[in-house]
């Protein structure tokens, strides 16, 4: 336990971890408040779908250019500015709750989605700049993942309680206030690092092109991200049909649906703690086992005869999810030179935003033609197929970490020696 908590003694890391947690909580609180606002004002599922496309899908195209523009700027300036901008966006959205205009709400929500995604990428890059020299990248990422999963578990419930008890406008103003507090905390932290950049790079477009070229030229990194993108499609396949699966297929109540989702969230928290505890298990092995757990969980949920069995399978899948995401991020960071950390993490954020859209369409189409159980079967089978192909593509490729770490870092591993990393994803 003492070793797992060592990163908390590093300068600036506790502040960066707090910012990461508040970003996740704020995103959930704002998203739930906006969904309620848009649906109540329009009574249109199409308008609500447009909101989710703006918040989740559009940032895939906006985040890499934005991060390329901000990469290398002093973190004490850029991170507070990003969180303060999020606060301003939610303050304006709170005003629009009283004087509703759909086009304005969608535009500002899309803008905020890109800012939030860029803030996550740059916060992760700044954290890596603190952790890697101390040889504590894996331990620090484990703590960030605990913050992320805690936010994902608490955020939806908090959003529902605040919106139901105080209203949409108060929820949006509370979100704005939380981001202001984080911006002030970051601005007051003198030890924030600035991620390194290449000295000869001029202009965001040059940095953007070189970031993509960097990934293309490195087979392990390129194939790992490609496999993840494919897996993310199948990870998202069940999301649109979970409510129908719980309430119609399993004949559960609204509480039963919530219980199934809570089982996954609880599993994520457990998985993040497991990752923190198994510091010496090679990342490729963790990626394979956790991806296998998610695929098997989807198949188990699809075949579940009762809500209890579905919740058990959901908890297993959530545990795999909690391990897999942080293992993936750590692997990507290890394979990325310090000067490209922010841009490669921005690409990872972009994939996390873009690829689920395909999964949503696939899951909905399969459920419409067949039934929700078939969507779970397609999702589980797809995850396992992607895992097999990923192992085959990465087998024999040497895993050469490019991020310099301190002497306490675990030794580098070889993909060939461990069967190759699997795929990744589920939450960003």
> How confident is the model over 32-89, as pLDDT tens digits?
888 888 888 888 767 877 787 788 788 888 899 999 888 878 888 899 999 999 999 9
**Pick from 38, 33, 42: nearest CA to 106:** 38
- pLDDT class of 228 with cuts at 50, 70, 90: very high
Map tokens 């606060």 to a residue.
87
- Is residue 68 within 8 Å of 346, Cβ to Cβ? yes
pLDDT of residue 408: 57
Phi, psi torsion values for 347, nearest 5 degrees: -65, -40
Across 129-143, 308-322, 385-399, least confident range: 385-399
Measured at the alpha carbon of residue 213, what is the angle toward residues 207 and 217, in degrees to the nearest 5?
Answer: 145
- Is residue 360 within 8 Å of 239, Cβ to Cβ? yes
Higher pLDDT, 277 or 199: 277
Domain ranges of the chain: 11-195, 214-428
- For residue 411, give the DSSP letter: P
Across 104-118, 253-267, 297-311, least confident range: 253-267
How confident is the model over 203-232, as a mean pLDDT? Answer: 90
Helices (H), 278-304: 283-303
pLDDT of residue 416: 36
pLDDT averaged over every residue in the chain: 84
pLDDT of residue 296: 96
- For residue 256, give the DSSP letter: H
Residue 337 CA to residue 402 CA, distance in Å, equals: 5
Residue 248 tokens, joined: 């119609």
> How confident is the model over 307-328, as pLDDT tens digits?
999 999 999 999 999 999 999 9
How confident is the model over 2-28, as a mean pLDDT? Answer: 82
Distances (CA, A) of 197 to 26, 181, 339, 342: 30, 29, 4, 9
What residues have CB less than 8 Å from 240, skipping those under 6 apart?
A: 360, 363, 364, 367
Domain 214-428 matching CATH 1.20.1250.20: the answer reads: yes
pLDDT of residue 346: 92
Residue 408 CA to residue 393 CA, distance in Å, equals: 30
Asked if 11-195 and 214-428 have one fold, the answer is: yes
pLDDT of residue 71: 83
Q: Give the number of other CB atoms < 10 A from CB of residue 88.
A: 16
Check whether 422 has a pLDDT greater than 70: no
Check whether 109 has a pLDDT greater than 80: yes
Give the right CATH number for 11-195 from 1.20.1250.20, 3.40.190.10, 3.40.50.970, 3.30.300.30: 1.20.1250.20
pLDDT of residue 240: 77
- pLDDT class of 427 with cuts at 50, 70, 90: very low
**Pick from 316, 292, 313: nearest CA to 302:** 313
Residue 401 tokens, joined: 């970490």
């Amino acid at each position: 336990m003492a070793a797992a908590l060592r990163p908390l003694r590093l300068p600036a890391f506790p502040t960066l971890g707090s910012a990461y947690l508040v970003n996740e909580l704020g995103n959930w609180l704002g998203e739930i408040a906006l969904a309620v606002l848009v649906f109540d004002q329009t009574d249109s599922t199409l308008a609500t779908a447009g909101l989710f496309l703006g918040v989740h899908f559009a940032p895939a195209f906006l985040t890499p250019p934005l991060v390329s523009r901000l990469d290398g700027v002093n973190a004490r300036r850029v991170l507070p500015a990003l969180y303060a901008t999020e606060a301003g966006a939610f303050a304006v959205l709170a005003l629009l709750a009283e004087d509703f205009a759909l086009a304005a709400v969608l535009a500002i929500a899309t803008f905020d989605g890109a800012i939030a995604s860029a803030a996550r990428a740059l916060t992760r890059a700044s954290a890596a700049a603190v952790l890697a020299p101390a040889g504590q990248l894996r331990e620090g990422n484990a703590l960030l993942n605990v913050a992320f999963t805690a936010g994902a578990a608490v955020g939806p419930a908090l959003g529902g309680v605040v919106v139901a008890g105080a209203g949409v406008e108060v929820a949006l103003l509370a979100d704005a206030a939380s981001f202001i507090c984080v911006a002030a905390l970051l601005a007051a932290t003198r030890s924030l690092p600035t991620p390194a950049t290449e000295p000869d790079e001029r202009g965001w477009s040059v940095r953007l092109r070189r970031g993509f070229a960097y990934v293309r030229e490195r087979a392990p990194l390129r194939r790992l991200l490609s496999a993840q993108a494919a897996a993310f499609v199948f990870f998202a396949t069940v999301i649109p049909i979970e409510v129908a699966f719980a309430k119609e297929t399993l004949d559960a109540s609204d509480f039963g649906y919530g219980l199934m989702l809570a089982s996954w969230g609880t599993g994520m928290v457990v998985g993040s703690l497991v990752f923190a505890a198994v510091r010496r298990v090679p990342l490729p092995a963790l990626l394979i086992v956790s991806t296998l757990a998610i695929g098997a969980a989807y198949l188990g949920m699809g075949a579940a005869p009762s809500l209890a069995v579905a919740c058990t399978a959901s908890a297993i899948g959530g545990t795999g999810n909690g391990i897999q995401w942080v293992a993936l991020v750590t692997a990507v960071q290890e394979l990325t030179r310090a000067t490209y950390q922010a841009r490669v993490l921005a690409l990872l954020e972009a994939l996390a935003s873009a690829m689920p859209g395909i999964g949503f369409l696939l899951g909905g189409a399969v459920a419409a033609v067949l039934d929700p159980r078939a969507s779970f079967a397609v999702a589980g089978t797809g995850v396992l197929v992607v895992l097999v192909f990923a192992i085959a593509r990465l087998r024999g490729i040497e895993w050469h970490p490019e991020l310099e770490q301190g002497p306490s870092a675990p030794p580098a591993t070889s993909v060939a020696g461990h069967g190759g990393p699997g795929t990744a994803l589920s939450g960003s």
